[in-house]
Amino acid sequence: MRDLVRRIEAATPPDRDRGVDALRALAILGVVLGHWLVTALVSDSGTVRGISPLHYIPHLTPVSWVFQTLAVFFLVGGYVGARSHARARARGATYRQWIGARMGRLFRPVAAVLTLWAVVAGTMLTSGAGFGTVHALCKLVVSPLWFLLVFAVLTATTPVTARLHPLWPLAVVLAVDVFRFGFDGPEPLGWFNVAAGWMVPYCLGALWARRGLPRRPATGRWLLVGGAATTCGLVLFAGYPASMVGVPGARISNLNPPTLAAVTFGLAQSGAALLLLGPLRRVLRRPAVWAAVALANLSAMTVFLWHQTAMIAVTALGLLTGSALPGLHTVPDGTGWVFARLAWLPVFAVALLVCWAAFRTYEQGRPRRDSRVVREGRPARETVVRGA
C-alpha cells in the first residue's frame, strides 16, 4: 500500500489541481449515498416495487439537500471539459479525436452494465418472474443513466458551451418555468430545462477554467448565499417543493425535469464547492489522502453505474432468510427504517466493492507494464487514473 501511495504521489504532475478531483469524488459519493438512502424495495402481492422514504417521512427532505450533488459533477465536468479541449487543440488534435476519446471513456463501462442487466432481465422473465418486478429493478438500474446522456451532449458541445456565459441557460430555465407554472404552459415545455438546467453549472465550470473563479473568494460566497436565498424564496413563496429529488405522488418534481429551484440550488452547491477548494487542496497535500481520492476518481463511473446493482443484490440475498429484514424489505414509514437502512450501508458498500472488482476494467482498460498512475494530459491508452 505504501508503495502504491508513493507511486501515485510521484506520478502526479506538480500543476495538477487535486481539489478538482476531490470535488468529483464527493459528487459521486453524494449521488450513491443519496440513492441508497431514498430508495427502498418492497414486495407487494408477489411483485417487487421501488418506493421512496420521502413519501412516508417528509422530514427526511434535508437528506436531498446534502446528497443531490449533480450540480457539482456538472461544474467539475465543465471545468475539465474546457481544459481538456483547450489542451487537445494546443496539441493539434482534431475535435473528432478529442470527442472520440472522451465518449469512449464515458460509455464503455455503460455497455457492461446494460449487457448484464439484459441477461438478468431475460433470465428472470423466462424463470417466471413478474413483469412488474423486472421492470422495477431495471428501472432502478437504468434511470440514473439519464444524466450521462445529458453530460455526453454537453461534453460534445464543449467548443460552444465553453464560451457561453452561464446566465444564458439560466435565463432559459427562468423563462420556461415562468411560462410553465405562471401561464399554465404545456408540461412538455419543461423538458427544455433538462439541457438548459444542467448547462448552467457546466458553463460555470467552463468559465472557471477560463478565468479562475476560485481566485476570487467573493464569487463562491455570492453563489452560495445568492443561490441558497433564491432557492428558499422559491420554495417558501413560489410553490416549489423543498425536496431536491423527485418524490412519488408529488405535483412537481424539482429534478424531472429540472426546475428553477433545482438550478439555483445547484448554484449554491457550486459556490460551496468553490469555497471548499482551498481546504481540500491543503488536505490533499498528504500523499495517503491524495492516493485515496485519485483511486476513487479512477473508478468513479464504475461506482456510479453499479451502486444500484449492489443494493439490489443485497436486497435479493436478504430474501433467503425467509423474513422481511428491517431497512431492507420493509416499508420506509418511520425513523426505525432510517436507522436500519443506515446499518445496511456498509453491506451495500461491500457489495459495490465486489462489483468494482469484477467490472472496473471496462472503465480503466487493461493496464500495461508501462502504465501511469496519474494521467498527465498527454494522449495515452494506458492510464491508471483519469485526470482533469
Q: What is the pLDDT of residues 339-360, one digit of tens each?
A: 999 999 999 999 999 999 999 8
Share of the chain above pLDDT 70, in %: 93
Q: Which three cell numbers stand for residue 301?
A: 463511473
Domain assignment present for residue 63? The answer is yes
Domain assignment present for residue 3? The answer is no
Number of domains in the chain: 1
Amino acid 144: pLDDT: 85
Domain assignment present for residue 6? The answer is no
Of 385, 387, 374, 377, which is closest to residue 87 (Cα–Cα)?
A: 377
Instruction: Answer whether residue 319 shows pLDDT above 90.
Output: no
Domain assignment present for residue 172? The answer is yes
Angle between helices 335-359 and 18-38 (to 10 degrees): 130
By the 8 A CB rule, do 335 and 58 touch?
A: no
Mean pLDDT of all residues belonging to the chain: 90
Amino acid 67: pLDDT: 93
Amino acid 218: pLDDT: 86
Of 20, 57, 52, which is closest to residue 34 (Cα–Cα)?
A: 52
pLDDT digits (tens, 9 = 90+) for 131-169: 999 999 999 999 888 889 999 999 999 999 999 999 999
By the 8 A CB rule, do 241 and 247 touch?
A: yes
Instruction: Answer whether residue 366 shows pLDDT above 90.
Output: no
Domain assignment present for residue 381? The answer is no
Amino acid 216: pLDDT: 66
Amino acid 374: pLDDT: 52
Give the mean pLDDT of 96-114. Answer: 92
Give φ, ψ of 52 to 5 degrees.
Answer: -110, 130
Of 225, 227, 259, 223, which is closest to residue 241 (Cα–Cα)?
A: 259
| Cα-based distances in Å from 14 to 272, 368, 370 | 25, 24, 20
Distance, in Å, from the CA atom of 260 to the CA atom of 297, rounded to the nearest integer, reads 30
pLDDT digits (tens, 9 = 90+) for 2-27: 888 889 888 888 888 999 999 999 99
Give φ, ψ of 77 to 5 degrees.
Answer: -60, -40
Amino acid 367: pLDDT: 52
Q: Which domain holds residue 325?
A: 13-361
Distance, in Å, from the CA atom of 15 to the CA atom of 35, rounded to the nearest integer, reads 35
Domain assignment present for residue 98? The answer is yes
By the 8 A CB rule, do 223 and 270 touch?
A: yes
Amino acid 384: pLDDT: 44
Amino acid 110: pLDDT: 93
| Cα-based distances in Å from 138 to 49, 62, 284 | 11, 27, 38
Distance, in Å, from the CA atom of 98 to the CA atom of 158, rounded to the nearest integer, reads 11
Higher pLDDT, 260 or 322: 260
Distance, in Å, from the CA atom of 248 to the CA atom of 133, rounded to the nearest integer, reads 18
Of 264, 270, 253, 106, which is closest to residue 191 (Cα–Cα)?
A: 253
Domain assignment present for residue 387? The answer is no
pLDDT digits (tens, 9 = 90+) for 259-281: 999 999 999 999 999 999 999 99
Helical H runs in the chain?
Answer: 2-11, 18-38, 53-56, 62-67, 70-91, 95-126, 131-142, 146-156, 158-161, 167-177, 192-211, 217-237, 260-283, 287-298, 300-318, 335-359, 361-364
Amino acid 37: pLDDT: 94
Domain assignment present for residue 379? The answer is no
